[in-house]
Amino acid sequence: MKKKLSFLLIIGLTIFLIAGGMVSAQSADEGLNEVITAEDGEESDRFENLTAYLDFLESEKELDSLDRIVLEKKLADYYGEDEEGGLEFTTITSVIDRYITDEIDLGQSFFILNNLNEAVLNGFNEKNMVDTLNNFHSDENSGQLFFQTALEMRKLSRVDKDAEFSEKFSNEISSLLEKNGKLEISELKKMASTYRKEARDKEREVNKINNNHGFEKNNNDNNGVKPNKGNNDKSNDKKNKDRGKSNHSSGKAKGKNK
């Protein structure tokens, strides 16, 4: 009986230790993921700059030395603390997160950053953009969706002059993900194509209205000259008639004097 109790006690202690180790490992992973994901931008504030963030990732073995050197060099093209037009820190970390979790490769991460940077320069709201991209949760398709969405954002920003349809595009993506929990790439492409068409149609309509206004203005300017010319002609005719009457009167007066 004692041997049986001892055996059960050993099994119980073993299970307890294994479970405790798993919980500790899970807690450590969750703590690291909270720092890496930085979904609300609060965790990213813990780092003074991008270099400090990369230092942290390297120390946690999330980046090897070579990747860290490449990232630090390439990311300088998109992020600068004192430069205007660069991407926000949270935007860059959102892309790095996808690389760390193996959803995209290193080359894709730079391509994505280039697309996002151009979209922002063209007027795309960066916060809406990042919030939309962060809605793609980690699954087998999330990396490709992340990549394709950044591409569609850039393409839409080129034709959407006032960013009206870019905002609608972001909002619809978020709405569909919230409703269905997923989004097919074919659906994403079709949606982006529709918004690009609407943006181009609006631009053509605006140009048409502006051209019509310009045409009307030119006509009004030209018509404004003609009446003045006509008035001058009428005035000259009246003067000539008055002059003729005056000469006729003078002739009569001379005849009487004779």
Per-residue tokens: 143: 């990396």
CA dihedral 60, 65, 71, 72 (to 10 degrees): 90
For the chain, the average pLDDT equals 77
In a domain, 39, yes or no: no
pLDDT at 215: 59
Q: Is the pLDDT of residue 169 over 80?
A: yes
pLDDT at 32: 43
In a domain, 145, yes or no: yes
In a domain, 36, yes or no: no
In a domain, 7, yes or no: no
Q: What confidence tens digit (pLDDT) does each residue in 71-84 have? A: 999 998 888 654 55
Closest listed residue to residue 88, CA positions, set 56, 30, 45: 45
* Domain, as residue range, for 65: 50-212
In a domain, 10, yes or no: no
In a domain, 9, yes or no: no
Structural domains counted in the chain: 1
Could you give the percent of the chain with pLDDT greater than 70?
Answer: 62
Q: Is the pLDDT of residue 201 over 60?
A: yes
Average pLDDT, integer, range 216-239: 57
Under DSSP, is residue 252 helix (H, G, I), strand (E, B) or coil?
A: helix
pLDDT at 12: 56
Q: Is the pLDDT of residue 231 over 60?
A: no
Least confident of 43-52, 61-70, 150-159, 220-229: 220-229
In a domain, 226, yes or no: no
In a domain, 119, yes or no: yes
Q: Is the pLDDT of residue 3 over 90?
A: no
